């Protein structure tokens, strides 16, 4: 997933820094920030994973979400990624 909570504030992986505590916006479990050189920057649950928030997202899926977000922001439009909605 590309978004997490840090001190109750939403933050995106591309802007996050290692060392902080990040929580899942869905289940509030602690996440790991993965910010390497190969894959798109993202957050992941620590195993065992029981939460379905952000589960099964391929690299292409993450890249598409980020590209759409950046297209809106690049046009000075407000955009949010991965906002949990009530069922
Ligand atoms: Zn979760």
Q: Per residue in 7-24, pLDDT tens?
A: 999 999 999 999 999 999
Q: What is the pTM of this model?
A: 0.83
Ligand 1 centroid, distance to 20 Cα (angstroms): 17
Ligand 1 centroid, distance to 24 Cα (angstroms): 5
Whether 85 shows a pLDDT value over 80: the answer reads no
Instruction: Note the pLDDT tens digit of each residue in 54-75.
Output: 788 888 999 999 999 999 999 9
Ligand 1 centroid, distance to 67 Cα (angstroms): 23
Instruction: Return d(Cα 19, Cα 28) in angstroms, integer.
Output: 17
């Amino acid at each position: 997933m590309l978004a997490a909570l840090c001190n109750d504030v939403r933050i995106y992986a591309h802007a996050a820094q290692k060392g902080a505590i990040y929580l899942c916006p869905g289940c509030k479990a602690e996440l790991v920030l993965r910010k390497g050189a190969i894959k798109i920057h993202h957050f992941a649950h620590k195993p065992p994973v029981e939460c379905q928030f952000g589960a099964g997202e391929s690299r292409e899926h993450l890249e598409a979400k980020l590209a759409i977000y950046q297209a809106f922001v690049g046009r000075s439009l407000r955009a949010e990624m991965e906002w949990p909605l009530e069922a």
